[in-house]
């Protein structure tokens, strides 16, 4: 729970909200207190000035302090202040609370000198103090500050509450697609490769979902390929194995003699098995990109001549003419000699196998920009158009029964394709049924 994305979102949001609201609360309440203190001071000043004018007028009108006590009492309740007035000798001549009348007083708070209106003669001193006993005309500022702080606190708590609800809802919205993705990933992990993330999200989460789905598709395809491969391999191994088994059972049941011919047949089947296993191993390395290729700048003309020469005798025994169509010079190519020779060998093997007596096989090469093209053309039986796109597929044979007879594994072209691609090249086939075939591949020129 505490590790869930949703919980982390909520915690992170809450910390941010609390810090923000707390900072606003402290900042506003502090500033309000200062502002109110300033205001209070200004008000006090103003009340002093007001009282001074009132008292000076009274003094002027009455030519003395007579009757000042009632003025002070009346104003005290309006201003909410305790007002004391002393004469020039410091004797209290008016006290809004009436306690100090006739006493000498020099003030618990600073007093202000009282001067007559015109001559400016010093006639007494005025003291103002906030009186908590008197209900003032205006609400006390302290109370104002407190209620402002209360509102601020309530507003803050309301904001936190609202933010909390929104955080819960929004965090759910953000974390639920990821949670859904995790559920799908779990199902995929348990082997159900048909599962896909059903997300219509945009942005990063949408991208994640798309990447996840394409990964799942690749996984499913890889799994399908693996299953097909196992099925294909089992199928391919079964024929030579059951042949061997058949021969051995016939010998055991004395239906067949264990003579030279039987042993030759047995060893041919074993050789076919061995070749199949070798080629499968090579193909799996090539498909995993783990073939160790030793690249070197090589002369492709020499490579073609050397690879073709052992096939001349083979072709001659089938009365096939084998000719080379090579220019005098070609740029050298960056290849693993062994592997490209093997590609050519596979193409020549097929050409000889599928060309009848009197036919022709031509091996050619030509420069094509930054590549060199090599081809093997024959005038053999050709490949039906519907089979042509499949000939590079693993175990694909145009004529299954005939291919068995010629001992083909159905892997030669697949391996050739992988090897050419490992060199950064491409391979292709052209063919006309009954007329012949042309297999060609390109390889990059050495820099």
Residues found near ligand ADP in the complex (CB under 6 A): 346, 350-351, 354, 378, 380-381, 383, 391, 396-399, 403, 408-414, 437
Q: How far is CA 83 from CA 28, 92, 94, 356, in A?
A: 34, 11, 8, 135
Closest approach of ligand ADP to the CB of residue 390, in Å: 8
Question: Which residue lies nearer to ligand ADP by CB, 177 or 410?
Answer: 410
Question: Which residue lies nearer to ligand ADP by CB, 199 or 427?
Answer: 427
Closest approach of ligand ADP to the CB of residue 295, in Å: 25
How far apart, in whole angstroms, are the C-alpha atoms of residue 303 and residue 296? Answer: 12
- The closest residue (CB) to ligand ADP is 408
Question: Which residue lies nearer to ligand ADP by CB, 220 or 349?
Answer: 349
Q: How far apart are the first and last CA of the chain?
A: 59
How far apart, in whole angstroms, are the C-alpha atoms of residue 66 and residue 92? Answer: 13
Closest approach of ligand ADP to the CB of residue 322, in Å: 13
In this structure, are residues 93 and 74 in contact, taking their beta carbons and an 8 Å threshold? no
In this structure, are residues 352 and 311 in contact, taking their beta carbons and an 8 Å threshold? yes
Q: Is 344 helix (H, G, I), strand (E, B) or coil?
A: helix
Question: Which residue lies nearer to ligand ADP by CB, 127 or 395?
Answer: 395
Closest approach of ligand ADP to the CB of residue 411, in Å: 6
Question: Which residue lies nearer to ligand ADP by CB, 196 or 397?
Answer: 397
Question: Which residue lies nearer to ligand ADP by CB, 179 or 342?
Answer: 342
Q: How far is CA 276 from CA 4, 390, 446, in A?
A: 52, 19, 33
Question: Which residue lies nearer to ligand ADP by CB, 354 or 371?
Answer: 354
- DSSP annotation of 108 reads S
Closest approach of ligand ADP to the CB of residue 219, in Å: 27
Closest approach of ligand ADP to the CB of residue 376, in Å: 7
Closest approach of ligand ADP to the CB of residue 234, in Å: 18
Cβ-based neighbours of 101, under 8 Å, separated by 6 or more:
69, 92, 93, 94, 95
How far apart, in whole angstroms, are the C-alpha atoms of residue 234 and residue 5? Answer: 47
- Pairing, β 360-368 against β 427-432: unpaired
List % helix, strand, coil for the chain (3-state, nearest 5). 55, 15, 30
């Amino acid at each position: 729970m505490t590790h869930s994305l949703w919980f982390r979102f909520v915690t992170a949001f809450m910390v941010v909200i609390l810090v923000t609201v707390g900072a606003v609360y402290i900042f506003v309440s502090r500033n309000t207190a200062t502002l109110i203190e300033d205001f209070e001071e200004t008000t006090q000043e103003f009340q002093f000035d007001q009282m001074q004018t009132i008292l000076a007028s009274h003094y002027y009108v009455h030519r003395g302090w007579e009757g000042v006590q009632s003025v002070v009492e009346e104003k005290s309740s309006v201003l909410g202040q305790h007002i004391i007035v002393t004469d020039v000798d410091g004797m209290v001549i008016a006290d809004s609370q009436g306690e100090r009348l006739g006493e000498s007083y020099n003030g618990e708070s600073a007093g202000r000198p009282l001067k007559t209106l015109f001559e400016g003669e010093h006639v007494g001193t005025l003291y103002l103090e906030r009186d908590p006993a008197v209900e003032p005309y205006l609400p006390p500022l302290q109370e104002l500050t407190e209620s402002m702080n209360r509102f601020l606190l309530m507003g803050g708590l309301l904001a936190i509450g609202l933010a909390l609800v929104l955080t819960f809802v929004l965090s759910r919205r953000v974390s639920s697609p990821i949670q859904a993705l995790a559920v799908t990933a779990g199902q995929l992990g348990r082997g159900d490769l048909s599962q896909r993330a059903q997300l219509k999200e945009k942005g990063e989460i949408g991208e994640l979902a798309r990447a996840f789905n394409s990964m799942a598709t690749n996984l499913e395809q890889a799994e399908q390929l693996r299953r097909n491969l196992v099925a294909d391999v089992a199928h391919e191994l079964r024929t030579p194995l059951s042949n061997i088994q058949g021969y051995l059972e016939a010998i055991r049941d004395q239906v067949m003699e264990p003579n030279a011919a039987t042993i030759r047949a047995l060893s041919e089947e074993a050789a076919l098995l061995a070749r199949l296993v070798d080629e499968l191993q090579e193909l799996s390395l090539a498909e995993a990109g783990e073939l160790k290729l030793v690249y070197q700048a090589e002369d492709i003309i020499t490579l073609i001549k050397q690879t073709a020469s052992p096939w001349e005798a083979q072709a001659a025994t089938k009365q096939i003419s084998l000719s080379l169509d090579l220019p005098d010079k070609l740029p050298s190519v960056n290849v693993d000699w062994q592997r490209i020779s093997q590609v050519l060998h596979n193409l020549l093997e097929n050409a000889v196998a599928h060309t009848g007596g009197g036919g022709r096989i031509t091996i050619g090469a030509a420069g094509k920009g930054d590549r060199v093209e090599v081809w093997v053309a024959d005038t053999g039986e050709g490949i039906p158009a519907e089979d042509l796109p499949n000939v590079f597929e693993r175990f694909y044979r145009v004529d299954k029964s005939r291919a068995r007879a010629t001992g083909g594994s159905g892997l030669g072209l697949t391996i050739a394709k992988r090897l050419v691609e490992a060199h950064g090249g491409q391979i292709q086939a052209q063919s006309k049924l009954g007329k012949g075939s042309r297999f060609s591949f390109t390889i990059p020129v050495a820099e």
